[in-house]
Amino acid sequence: MIRPGPVTRYRVRQVSGNIAKDRRDDLATEEPLEIRVLAGGVSRTVAITMRTPGADFELAAGFLHGEGLVRPGEIQAIGYCTDDDVPPEARYNTVSVRLPHLPEVPHLERHFMTSSACGVCGSASLDALKDRCVPLVTSAVKVHPEILYGLPATLHDAQGVFARTGGLHAAGLFTPDGVLIQSREDVGRHNAVDKLVGWALLHDRLPLTGQLLLVSGRASYEIGQKALAAGLELLCAVSAPSSLAVDLAREFGMTLVGFLRNERFNVYAGPERIL
């Protein structure tokens, strides 16, 4: 089977004024990804999400970590699923994660279905989030506004697929000095964050204390939740935060920056980390 890539090529008709011409156009690929957990010979589907193919193992690992279903060091193996019930054409759209035991979480009993435009948070309340998130380990990190001003351009320059398609979100992990550590792209904002956190999880880099996260779109509750679970103290967004994202940041002691563009931004929580 042909493994789907992040870009799909189409022929389109471009119209400008009264002139029309046919040309090639590259679009961001959107395909479903089924995430399964496997333990003791039992396999269960945890989620089905629409995503851009690429970094699928990181996406699965990051999703499971953000949902509190795995901790660092618990993933024994991860790969594309070859179970008998998976047709050949779906092999590269199904990831199986082997764990020492199946997580005993109530929401594991139902299958999630999420689009590329929304995240799966598992718990919609801050009180429930307290029960499964370890306290945020704070550092002495301080960031100068001039550093923050340069982050969007740095992340934009790292978006190779976006440059070809114009249709992807991005998440970037930075040092307090503005050095890009790693970035990921996806049609879904939350998927991009999951891929980035999954990269850190699979490379034994969690928690991400003292580092900061920038997302190319808005900051929602689910993105704040994933950042919190990864131990990030500072979350920045090019666009607006949601009210629940602000509540989450204030409740858990995170710094939340929104509308970071054109050398301006708003600080919605944790202003003490901005010099």
Q: What are the binding residues?
A: 259-264
Are 240 and 217 spatial neighbours (Cβ–Cβ below 8 Å)?
A: no
Told to judge if 118 belongs to the known catalytic residues of this protein, a careful annotator would answer yes
DSSP 134: P
**The tokens of 55 are what?**
């970094």
Q: Is 247 exposed, middle or buried (0-12, 13-18, 19+ CB in 10 A)?
A: middle
**Of 118, 121, 133, 236, which residue is the catalytic one?**
118
Count of CB atoms within 10 A of residue 121's CB?
22
Phi, psi of 124 (to 5 degrees): -100, 15
Are 122 and 133 spatial neighbours (Cβ–Cβ below 8 Å)?
A: no
Are 34 and 45 spatial neighbours (Cβ–Cβ below 8 Å)?
A: yes
**The tokens of 119 are what?**
């995240």
What is the rounded CA–CA span in Å between residue 211 and residue 233?
Answer: 7
Are 4 and 49 spatial neighbours (Cβ–Cβ below 8 Å)?
A: no
What residues are labeled active site? 118
